[in-house]
Amino acid sequence: MSAISVQFGYPFRLYQIPFEMPDCEGEGEPRTLHLVGDFSAPAEFFVTLGVFSFLYAMAALVLYLRFHSLYGDNKKLPFTDFCITVCFAFFWLVAAAAWGKGLSDVKAATRPSSLIAAMSVCQGQDAVCNAGATPAMGLANISVLFGFINFLLWAGNCWFVFKETTWHTQAEPRGDSAAEQG
């Protein structure tokens, strides 16, 4: 009887993760196998977007607080800010969906029953292989949830940035008041 433990994590290049398959006959050394799959692209895109979002948010905060007069005087700056905010909202939606699918694939590739099915030693008639503990993916699930929350946050922020553009100020009706008439 032997237990097999496989450790994996970010960036989820599972094909690089080795684990030892025991030899049940006791004649040879254990064979080294590797997990299957490369799910690093959605994970790295998700993390990279988080870093860029943080850096942009800090730069915008400095611009809003320190150089507010420049932001108010320049008509192109609010429009650029609006376009970048819309792009970040879209990218958060894409990144959260991609990472959600990537995480689902990681779960499928690391499911103990999938690993047992791939081991030749478990295919013998005398071999009894039991699935052990399923990997804990709670924090990874929460990261997907926070990705969609980030999408909602950036999409909601689009309204506040839009209010600073000339598109919003042109749409406001100008009423003639009694003071202006006379």
92 contacts: CB under 8 Å, gap ≥ 6:
49, 53, 147, 148, 150, 151, 154
pTM of the model: 0.77
For the stretch 172-181, pLDDT in tens is 565 555 555 5
Q: What is the pLDDT of residues 15-30, one digit of tens each?
A: 888 877 776 666 667 7
φ, ψ of residue 149 to 5 degrees: the values are -65, -40
Gap between the Cα atoms of 52 and 170, Å rounded? 32
What residues of the chain score a pLDDT lower than 50? Answer: 182
Phi and psi angles of residue 19, each rounded to the nearest 5 degrees, phi first:
-150, 155
The set of residues, in sequence order, having a beta carbon less than 8 Å from that of 65 and lying 6+ positions away, is: none
